[in-house]
């Protein structure tokens, strides 16, 4: 199995996150900044604004159109969750692509990123891409067989607030399998950077 860093160029100008009241599992998250918080409820988005394309929200939530729904559910059954309409809370035909595992830390061979203002407790957030420089992920080993995995490292800055809805969590990047690449490869604005292992 080969793995690829998934990059999605098309972006909606809205997001979801803790502000919509969704629940998060904080059991593996940093107690200072919240990095590693795992969303357990479906995200809520304005369905009328969604288009027939693969796109990310401002918080890198990956939105899969109804056209690809069956293929994703069949080939990567653990890696999707129905999106709810933010107005009606009804289930939509769009899916969110979600990771089934979190990878270990990437190795020192990884290039194409910088770190700044990281949480001093976990140093897990505060990763940033470098404009026009591809991020080339490298791992010593990758666990098992999966279709969508989250990087351990989080991109952006996290903050955990007493009023949870004001919290903001830096986002993981997604590493996907050959199977997911096959589903998405013909979609505009979707790119795959090979991940090196070993
Ligand atoms: Zn932290």
Measure 133 CA to ligand 1 centroid, in angstroms.
26
Q: What is the pLDDT of residue 165?
A: 93
Q: What is the pLDDT of residue 156?
A: 96
Residue 77 pLDDT more than 90? no
Question: Rounded to whole angstroms, how far apart are CA atoms 134 and 193?
Answer: 8
Kindly report the average pLDDT of the chain as a whole number: 94
Q: What is the pLDDT of residue 21?
A: 86
Measure 142 CA to ligand 1 centroid, in angstroms.
24
Where do the DSSP E strands lie in 31-111? 38-39, 44-45, 55-56, 62-64, 80-85, 91-97, 101-102
Question: Rounded to whole angstroms, how far apart are CA atoms 127 and 115?
Answer: 5
Paired sense of beta strands 38-39 and 24-25, if any: antiparallel
Specify the 3-state DSSP secondary structure of 18. helix
Q: What is the pLDDT of residue 144?
A: 81
Where do the DSSP E strands lie in 18-111? 24-25, 38-39, 44-45, 55-56, 62-64, 80-85, 91-97, 101-102
Measure 179 CA to ligand 1 centroid, in angstroms.
33
Measure 7 CA to ligand 1 centroid, in angstroms.
25
Measure 59 CA to ligand 1 centroid, in angstroms.
18
Residue 178 pLDDT more than 90? yes
- Tokens 């490298």 map to which residue? 138
Measure 101 CA to ligand 1 centroid, in angstroms.
19
Q: Tell me the average pLDDT across 35-58.
A: 94
| Predicted confidence (pLDDT) per residue in 130-149, tens digit | 999 999 999 999 988 899 99
Measure 170 CA to ligand 1 centroid, in angstroms.
10
Every domain of the chain and the residues it spans:
3-197
Residue 1 pLDDT more than 90? no
Residue 17 pLDDT more than 90? no
């Amino acid at each position: 199995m080969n793995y690829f860093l998934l990059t999605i160029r098309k972006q909606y100008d809205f997001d979801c996150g803790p502000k919509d009241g969704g629940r998060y599992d904080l059991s593996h998250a940093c107690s200072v900044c919240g990095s590693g918080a795992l969303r357990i409820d479906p995200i809520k988005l304005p369905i009328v604004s969604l288009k027939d394309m693969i796109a990310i929200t401002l918080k890198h939530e990956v939105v899969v159109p109804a056209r690809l729904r069956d293929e994703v559910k069949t080939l990567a059954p653990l890696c999707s969750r129905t999106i709810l309409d933010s107005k009606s809370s009804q289930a939509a035909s769009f899916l969110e692509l979600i990771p089934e595992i979190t990878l270990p830390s990437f190795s020192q061979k990884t290039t194409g990123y910088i770190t700044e203002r990281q949480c001093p407790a976990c140093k897990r957030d505060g990763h940033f891409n470098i404009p026009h420089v591809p991020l080339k992920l490298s791992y010593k080993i990758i666990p098992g067989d999966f279709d969508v995995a989250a990087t351990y490292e989080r991109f952006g800055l996290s903050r955990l607030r007493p009023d949870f809805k004001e919290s903001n969590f830096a986002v993981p990047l997604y590493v996907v399998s050959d199977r997911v690449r096959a589903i998405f490869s013909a979609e505009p604005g979707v790119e795959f950077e090979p991940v090196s292992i070993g």
